[in-house]
Amino acid sequence: MPEEKKKSKEKLKKELSEAKKLAETYLEQLKYLQADFDNYKKRVLREREEFIRQANENLIKELLVILDDFERSLASMKNKEDLKGLELIYKNFLKILKTFGLKKIEAVGKKFDPYYHEVLLKEKSDKEEGIILEEFQSGYLLNGKVIRHSKVKISG
């Protein structure tokens, strides 16, 4: 009998050892699956954010046409009362676009930068070469990314 107990005890130890190894294997697999799932969730979230950013960028690019129209209207308007009303609408419109990350690129008086400006004309001037003399169309950044370059005239 004692020998049977010993064999039975060894058999149980062996089974327990195998069960522990199997449990460790399953735990390791579970950890890998959890990490893969976490990475998947992060990737999906990044892709969704990028999709929203892209959609906002496309919409704001379309709205820049309206912003240009406002600026031209303000420049050509003569009636002071109408001008005040239009300026108010323009400022509110610009404020909304700014909340979405739109920022006007500063141009006139600045040094030409090909990352932000597009030269349409070059003119002799008493200013240093490459200084922006006039802006024909405003350029804009959206969350730090150029979505439209400023169209400018520079000193040559």
Mean pLDDT by 10 residues, the chain (156 residues): 77 88 92 92 91 85 89 82 84 90 91 92 87 92 92 90
Domains of the chain: 1-100 (3.90.20), 102-156 (2.30.22.10)
Tell me phi and psi for residue 79, to 5 degrees: -70, 120
Give the contacts of 134 (CB within 8 A, at least 6 positions apart): 108, 121, 152, 153
User: Tell me, what's the pLDDT at 1?
Assistant: 62
Q: Is residue 97 within 8 Å of residue 60, measured between CB atoms?
A: yes
CB of 147 closer than 8 Å to CB of 141: yes
- Tokens of residue 34, six digits: 């959890």
The pLDDT assigned to 152 comes to 94
